[in-house]
Amino acid sequence: MTIFLIWLIAFVAILFLCYHRWDTSVSPGLDKVLPAVMKTHGDNRLVWSLALAVLGATTLVRPVDMLLTVIVIALLVLVGRKLAGWAMNKVDM
């Protein structure tokens, strides 16, 4: 129950800060990092704020789990790229 309460407080705090500081800091920061297709030009303020709040609160409460998830995703992307490169080399022959 304590972990849930800490997560909920962190979620609300991050959501509040992201939503109210959207134009000054959050949107320009996301636009620098994201590809052109995912830019925050529309009215995605609430969606992005909710997503960042969930990720931020989960990272604060369970940092090791998030780190391991990022490592697993990075490994899967690396293996996928290597397999795709190998498959493209086999197709060219």
pLDDT reported for residue 58:
93
The pLDDT value given to residue 40 = 65
pLDDT for position 92: 67
Task: Report which DSSP code applies to 40.
Answer: S
- pLDDT of amino acid 80: 95
The mean pLDDT values, 10 residues at a time, for the chain of 93 residues are: 94 94 86 79 83 94 93 96 91 71
56 C-beta neighbours (distance < 10 Å), count: 18
CA distance 36 to 31: 8
Cα–Cα nearest to 60, from 26, 1, 14:
14
Alpha-carbon span 63 to 25, nearest angstrom: 24
d(CA 60, CA 11): 10
Residues 21-42 have pLDDT tens digits of 988 888 888 888 888 777 766 6
